[in-house]
Amino acid sequence: MTEDKDRHDSRPTATPEVALVTGGSSGIGFAMARELSQRGHEVLVVAERGVDDAVRQLARHTDARVTGLEADLALPAGVEAAAARARELRVRTFVLNAGVGVHGPFARTPLQDELRLVDLNVRSLVHLAHLVVPDLVASGAGRILVTSSIAATMPAPLFGTYAASKAFARSFAWSLRHELDGTGVTVTSVLPSATRTPFFRAAEMERTHIGRAPKASPAMVARQAIDALMEGRAEVATGLQAKAMVAIAALLPQPARSRFHGWFYAPGARPRSTRQT
Ligand SMILES: NC(=O)c1ccc[n+]([C@@H]2O[C@H](COP(=O)([O-])OP(=O)(O)OC[C@H]3O[C@@H](n4cnc5c(N)ncnc54)[C@H](OP(=O)(O)O)[C@@H]3O)[C@@H](O)[C@H]2O)c1
């Protein structure tokens, strides 16, 4: 008995699993990085800016190791740097979350902004997944979480490239999940509804209906997303609003989806309760 107990007590502490979170410096990604670190994961935060601040803030909430990498994931070199660091740290959990929005009439939005959105939301997702999936499959274990959106479920006039990029992310995640079935690697997608992050300000959408609408908390989105990731579920729409939007999208014919969803991205008046009298 004693021998068994001693052997048990002298075992080295299990090495923590390492998770990489793209876009972990802010908003939903930051909340997911915090959630993972509080569940005992070592976390590598990858973002274009603000990584040191995020690492400092995360370190205050956890005993787990948190490190950062500044990389522009809209560029192939940034993706390659992230994959190289992931290989060094033997990352087995990937949260592919970094994303931006471009809002406005398509004929007037700057082409370079639209293409940068595609480079980040679509190209970097495929590139990073392509670099890391072979190692995960070879090791027989891994988890991938892809941040899609309820915007994936319907066309979005005035926000069309973004919605299409999120539909791409959702479809890609489902296909990859199916392909990797039986390898020990799971793929999960998360569909948040409008969430309180700097996203709407960055995309200059504060005066739209969706910009002015009540929003979900990043902490709630992160908790439900990481639960789904850890359980290896295919998809989670976070919160009631997201679940309702997915259900509505399934009921509407395509032209009605465009009209319904387009309203959210059109300029909107402030809700009555917040108007100055
Ligand atoms: N907020 C919502 O309502 C909502 C709803 C559904 C889905 N989503 C999705 O959730 C994800 C996170 O968005 P969020 O709302 O949390 O917005 P956010 O607070 O603006 O976070 C975006 C993150 O992406 C990073 N990022 C942006 N451009 C990058 C680049 N070129 N290279 C590397 N990192 C880059 C940002 O880092 P830097 O600031 O350093 O560039 C930041 O960490 C996005 O994919 C978004 O589409 C958001």
Residues 271 and 277: their CA atoms lie apart, in Å, by 12
What's at 217, amino acid-wise?
A: S
Pocket lining: 194 vs ligand 1, CB cutoff 6 Å = yes
- Cα–ligand 1 centroid distance for 97 (angstroms): 7
- Cα–ligand 1 centroid distance for 120 (angstroms): 10
Which pLDDT does position 271 carry in this prediction? 55
Q: What is the pLDDT of residues 30-75, one digit of tens each?
A: 999 999 999 999 999 999 999 999 999 999 988 899 999 999 999 9
What residues are labeled active site? Answer: 162
Pocket lining: 201 vs ligand 1, CB cutoff 6 Å = no
> Radius of gyration (Cα) for the chain, nearest Å?
20
CB atoms within 10 A of CB 262: 17
Q: What is the pLDDT of residues 226-246, one digit of tens each?
A: 999 999 999 999 999 999 999
Q: What is the pLDDT of residues 179-235, one digit of tens each?
A: 999 999 999 999 999 999 999 999 999 999 999 999 999 999 999 999 999 999 999
Residue whose CA lies nearest to ligand 1 atom number 39: 49
Local confidence band at 272 (pLDDT 50, 70, 90 cut-offs): low
Which pLDDT does position 14 carry in this prediction? 65
Tokens of 59: 């370190």
Ligand 1 atom having least distance to the Cα of 148: 7
Tokens of 54: 């995020």
- Cα–ligand 1 centroid distance for 249 (angstroms): 24
The CATH number of domain 15-274 is 3.40.50.720: yes
